[in-house]
Structure 1
């Protein structure tokens, strides 16, 4: 059963639309941040992290962040799953990679706070949001039902 994107968003409860909007903003801000880092430092922008897998992951966020944003905008359940996976790895990698700087200068914590709060938000909202999207995608559509009856429903 195919739904257009506008209908998918319209079938979501208001709280879910707000949560999805926050996801979109957060991942687009993340993309902008990582794109700016790469523009300034090139492929070695994250050389300050001694762990090569972290460096590769942070460079890869230039692809992963907009991918999550597109999947969320298209109201794909996989987008919510990917959002959680990206944020878990992102938050853990940042905390682990910055742990020695945090020990030496606790003021660096302020830089990790927005990322951590967004990560907690994504993780905390994941299950209710996944359920809301699944319910909206599988349930009857008020617009489709009204078209079948020959009436018009306006939102």
Structure 2
């Protein structure tokens, strides 16, 4: 019984285990940031952003980021796809909400580099990681049936 984590992780090629570990680190860090923001400032944590949709999205990351971490930790294909969707949306939302910096102080855009680089990393490995996770989850479990 159980989740078969050892088999799922062990069934991955070395490169995929490293990529999964980076995904986990990134989404756990994002989880901490958004949960701490909400713990500190409550539902108004992102009130500085004038668009309500952006505020709701950034608050939702307190749930989405941990969900991605759990699914990726379980080596689930759904987690890989959700990771891609969350990061594409997160990078876009961050750049959109901070676009005024382009005119005010372009050097402050360096602040967006880590999330942008992580987003590119997630998207770059999306298909290869999905393929290898699909092979692992498609194998019949010992004792099943």
Using the size of structure 1 for normalisation, the TM-score is 0.85
Cα-to-partner distance string for 1:49-71 (whole Å, 9 max, x where unaligned): 11101100100100000000000
Bigger radius of gyration: 1
Q: Structure 1, unaligned stretches of length 5 or more?
A: 145-155
Distance 1:24 1:130 in 2: 15
Alpha-carbon deviation of 1:140?
7.4
**SS at structure 2 position matched to 1:99:** coil
Mean CA deviation greater in 73-82 or 3-12: 3-12
Cα-to-partner distance string for 1:24-64 (whole Å, 9 max, x where unaligned): 00000001111122222221111111110110010010000
| Aligned length, in residue pairs | 142
Distance 1:133 1:35 in 2: 28
Is residue 51 from structure 1 mapped to residue 58 from structure 2 by the alignment? no
Alpha-carbon deviation of 1:23?
0.3
Identify the residue that residue 110 of structure 2 maps to in structure 1: 110
Alpha-carbon deviation of 1:137?
2.6
Distance 1:79 1:120 in 2: 16
Distance 1:53 1:108 in 2: 23
Cα-to-partner distance string for 1:104-155 (whole Å, 9 max, x where unaligned): 11122121100000000000000000011112233578xx6xxxxxxxxxxx
Tell me how large the CA RMSD over aligned residues is.
1.8
Using the size of structure 2 for normalisation, the TM-score is 0.91
Distance 2:137 2:32 in 1: 31
Q: Structure 2, unaligned stretches of length 5 or more?
A: none
Identify the residue that residue 128 of structure 1 maps to in structure 2: 128
Distance 2:37 2:103 in 1: 24
Alpha-carbon deviation of 1:3?
6.3
**SS at structure 1 position matched to 2:8:** helix
**SS at structure 2 position matched to 1:12:** coil
Runs of 4+ in structure 1 deviating by more than 4 angstroms, as ranges, are: none
